[in-house]
Structure 1
Amino acid sequence: MSYEHTETLAPLAPAANQLRKGALGAGAVTFFVISAAAPLVAIAGGAPLGMLLGNGAGMPGAYGITMLILLLFAVGYCALARHVTNAGAFYAFAARGLGGMAGGASSMIALVGYNTMQIGLYGMFGAAAQGLFQQVGISLPWWAYAYIAMASISVLGYRQVDLSAKVLTLLVAAEYLCVLVLDVAIIAKGGDSGLSAAPFAPSHVFSGSPSIGLVFAFACFVGFEATTIYGEEAKDPKRTIPLATYFSVLLIGGFYMVSSWALVNAEGVSKLAGYLGGLPDPTRFLFNMADRYVGHWLSLTMSVLFVTSVYAGLLAFHNSVARYFFAMGREGLLPGHFGKTHDEHQSPHTGSVAQTVIAAIVVAVFVLTKQDPVLALFSWLTNVGALGVITLMAIASFAVPAFFARNKKMSDGVFSSYIAPIGAGVLLVVVLYNIVINFALLTGASSFLSYSLTGLILAGAVIGLGLSWRLRVADPVRYASIGHEKI
């Protein structure tokens, strides 16, 4: 079936069975994706771990390199987003560029990746909330806090999308404000021994284990790519989604670079490695600097916002998973009830419920087997999630030139349609290689378990291929419509 014929296929879902159109502006979409990136968690956890295990004082430079790669990725990603508006996002892109089989494989990689990312965050949330409430004399097991958060997220995910957006806007704005207060204080006081640009010098950026630093930097950005998931609910998606994507990369990247640079200078470039190595918990670095440069009130506020930051990430990833369930059900890859929206809220409520049930079961398994919420649940699953999302980004990058090669009249130019996405795809494959070979170090798990965890992404791809093959045999016309416009 030719592209020209399939392009005219009408949406399979009836007009009444659609996501809530026009509910989100560029600002709301941006807050969804930067909350998924959990900026405070990244600065408190990802940055010091990247410094300790990766390239030390050169971590700000690693963030800069990552931002440049993701901006290159965004060029092709946004070029295709102007022609494909579908809640299936990554798998829709893969289907339109590389065919329905690639779309099916990508759909299950997305479900595995975003589910594991979301569920893993419950471990961090539970542990952080437990520590916070113990300070005021409330002692509950970590999993109690995880299930309380899960219950509230299930309500927000079930209801209208703009309600979730309002919650996230408040939480994320508070995170940024607190870290920026610390940044300004460090800069104003000249750090430990004067402000230095050394963290951006090649001698520091490529010192130690730069590939590990780069992997940690990429993990801190996971979530920004979800802008296209909200295309069907955005106001003027052809403009809103590209704008939100570029703005998210620049805002997150700039925030990470400045804040990590300030932290390096707060302790001093020459003293940083020794200081981090002496901390029983490297994630205390940010809070210790807040105590030193501003006062205990800021570190206490950050402790509260750290919990809400994880919560914001949980809510954002929950919404992403629900929309993938919806898109796959609508297009026949999953049972049809997943592809129906709520009569009143126009939300992907079935996918929302399914995600909550899966999360409840997986967390229960970790509780019953007495696994550590951070070292096991969080570390293992969020790294699987990061691996899945970066895999999807690489696939999407190669899907862009394939799409424009068949649809030359739609091309936005050689650079945006071919050079940028191919370059980004190659660089993302290099990042993927470094994640896989260093997975045991990233997760703290045994080699056997680490490779078993990475196998979840491969298993998802195989299942997705099976689903798309089944649809291709049972309903060729519907199979040909995978990834097409849904607005």
Structure 2
Amino acid sequence: MSRTDSAPDSTSLAENVLGVPGIVFLVLAAVAPLTGMVVIAAIGIAVGNGGGMVAAFVVATVVLLLFAVGYAQMSKVLTSAGGFYAFVVKGLGRTLGLVAGFVAMLGYNCFVAGAIGTSGFFTGTVLKDVFGLDLDWVVWSAVSVVLVFLLSRRGIDVSAKVLGVSLVLEVSILLVMDFAVLFRHGFSFDVFRPSVMLQGAGGLALLFAANAFIGFEATALFGEEAKNPKRTIPRATYLAIGFIGVFAAFTTWAVVTAIGVAQAQDVAAAHLSTGDLVFSVSQDYLGGALTKVMMLLLVVSLFAALLALHNSATRYLYALGRVGVLPRVLGRTRARNGAPQHAAIVQLVFGSVVAVVFRLAGLDPVADLTASMTGFGTLGILALQLLAALAILVHFRRARDPRLVRTLIAPGLGAVGLGLIVTLAILNFPTLAGSSNGVVPQLPWLLLVVALGGLVVAVWLRRRRPAVYDALDADLEAATEKVDTSPAGH
């Protein structure tokens, strides 16, 4: 047994292991392009503005790129595994930073719980359709959880490689379909006519377009594990947002052209209950064999998203454990490869328990588990993005940064756009979640409860555990200084 194998747990993540491609793979896998097109884009076309969904993706891309301008500048000032929680501590102070940390922690963990249900359900459905293998969805969810744990404990670089392969496969099959539509009869430019872009529920279209980007914000979470993070993180962020936007708009354009711009909303609505709009287009343009391949790659896409989201959720638990807000055992890592294995175990146990509770209650894995958990997770992450946008603005105004375009105008416009998206998410939460069952419509109130919980914990720490409260700032400075003084930071 080597010395590293027998070494005790440390508190440091692996350093200098992720370049721009690795971080982009981690982020885009969480976004899950194939899942985004099969589920999110199809719903946006049906309940939003039909063929105008293409323009909605373009608008969402512009909003997030404007936000990314300030995000990139903040990434050069601060490097931390706390991601957006760390940004809020830096810009808005420790109290609101804890609020952001709690929102991030619960939002990502709920998202993973929903992803466990989604992965199990669709894996079971696809394998039954393709191979005739019929097992309960909770069995496939359990298999997914075990595989995620085994991969995540091998280190973030191993996850990045696995996710890179899955990303290439799922993007490739959609591009084959897109170009099949393009080469057969071209794309219709009617999607950019004002009457098409402004028809239907444009607000819902923008909301679902923004939903397809959920996961891009995770680039900051891997700063301590990145090579030269002050360059790597901004580049990875721009690449991730740009790729998601262009790919989503291009594929949606292909789908809308294939089914007809004028009747796109009606056709999508007819496929809403079965969720097979994209598969129906694939059947027409690629045939049955490649459509089955696409269905199998959907399973791969969902697993990749679960693995990537697990890595993100784990790092929020790790960051809050390292500073002492959560039990410090969560802030320990494997000495061998820097994997935060204690946080990983807690994260997967939480998601698994939630999934099992829904199964024992006889609730539907999609209409109930995915709708409630992923719906709330989406709302939480959107709110976290808005808090980070405000923190970036405040930080650079306090510093009186003279670069007004980069630190005020562009990120300010991005913050306004994110504010609109968060408002739309709250007002249309049952539609965003895809269900109005049970308590789902009331879940936005949970966001307020979580925020109040963060405030209460902040007040308690300041009075009873001032060392931990003060450490919220010290931890950020220590992490940033460590990166700045290491070979990877130059």
| Band the TM-score falls in, shorter-chain normalisation | over 0.9
Give the one of 283, 289, 294 matched to 2:281. Answer: 289
Q: Which residue does the alignment assign to 2:408?
A: 418
Contact 2:9 2:334 in 1 (8 A): no
Contact 1:96 1:484 in 2 (8 A): no
Q: Which residue does the alignment assign to 2:57?
A: 63
- Provide the rounded CA distance (Å) in 1 between the counterparts of 2:256 and 2:234: 33
- In structure 1, the residue corresponding to 2:98 is in which secondary structure? helix
Give the one of 425, 430, 433 matched to 1:435. Answer: 425
Contact 1:276 1:282 in 2 (8 A): no
Range moving further from structure 2, 79-88 or 149-158: 149-158
Give the one of 367, 384, 395 matched to 1:392. Answer: 384
Q: 1:203 and 2:195 equivalent?
A: yes
Q: 1:369 and 2:364 equivalent?
A: no
Q: 1:146 and 2:141 equivalent?
A: yes
Matches within 5 A, 1:72-471: 72-135=66-129, 136-190=131-185, 195-279=187-271, 281=273, 283-408=275-400, 411=401, 413-446=403-436, 449-471=439-461
Q: Which runs of 5+ in 2 are unaligned?
A: 1-7, 483-490
- Provide the rounded CA distance (Å) in 2 between the counterparts of 1:17 and 1:122: 28
Contact 2:226 2:232 in 1 (8 A): yes
Cα distance, 1:294 vs structure 2: 1.6
Q: Write out the 4+ residue segments of structure 1 that deviate beyond 4 Å after TM superposition.
A: none
Contact 1:112 1:457 in 2 (8 A): no
Contact 1:19 1:347 in 2 (8 A): yes
- Provide the rounded CA distance (Å) in 1 between the counterparts of 2:216 and 2:272: 31
Q: 1:280 to 1:23 in 2, by over 3 A?
A: closer
Alpha-carbon displacement from aligned partner over 1:337-392 (angstroms, at most 9, x marks no partner) = 11111121211111101101101110011101111111111122111111111101
Q: 1:36 to 1:180 in 2, by over 3 A?
A: same
Cα distance, 1:273 vs structure 2: 2.8
Q: Cα RMSD over matched residues?
A: 1.8
Q: 1:200 to 1:315 in 2, by over 3 A?
A: same
Contact 2:126 2:295 in 1 (8 A): yes
Q: Which amino acid aligns with 2:420?
A: V
Question: Under a length normalisation based on structure 1, what TM-score does the superposition of the two structures give?
Answer: 0.93
Contact 1:84 1:485 in 2 (8 A): no
Cα distance, 1:280 vs structure 2: 6.0
Question: Under a length normalisation based on structure 2, what TM-score does the superposition of the two structures give?
Answer: 0.92
Q: Which residue does the alignment assign to 1:483?
A: 476
Cα distance, 1:169 vs structure 2: 0.4
Cα distance, 1:118 vs structure 2: 1.3
Alpha-carbon displacement from aligned partner over 1:11-54 (angstroms, at most 9, x marks no partner) = xxx99531000111000000100110110011111111101111
- Provide the rounded CA distance (Å) in 2 between the counterparts of 1:444 and 1:256: 20
- Provide the rounded CA distance (Å) in 2 between the counterparts of 1:46 and 1:74: 23
Q: Which amino acid aligns with 1:361?
A: V
- Provide the rounded CA distance (Å) in 1 between the counterparts of 2:84 and 2:168: 28
- Provide the rounded CA distance (Å) in 2 between the counterparts of 1:363 and 1:17: 30
- Provide the rounded CA distance (Å) in 2 between the counterparts of 1:479 and 1:74: 24
**Count of equivalent residues:** 469
Contact 2:42 2:272 in 1 (8 A): no
Q: Which amino acid aligns with 2:86?
A: A
- Provide the rounded CA distance (Å) in 1 between the counterparts of 2:105 and 2:193: 39
- Provide the rounded CA distance (Å) in 1 between the counterparts of 2:180 and 2:58: 22
- Provide the rounded CA distance (Å) in 1 between the counterparts of 2:334 and 2:147: 18
Contact 2:49 2:265 in 1 (8 A): no
Cα distance, 1:444 vs structure 2: 4.4
Cα distance, 1:211 vs structure 2: 0.6
- Provide the rounded CA distance (Å) in 1 between the counterparts of 2:226 and 2:272: 45
Alpha-carbon displacement from aligned partner over 1:399-429 (angstroms, at most 9, x marks no partner) = 1121122333xx3711111122222112211
Cα distance, 1:451 vs structure 2: 4.2
- Provide the rounded CA distance (Å) in 2 between the counterparts of 1:137 and 1:259: 30
Q: Which residue does the alignment assign to 1:3?
A: none
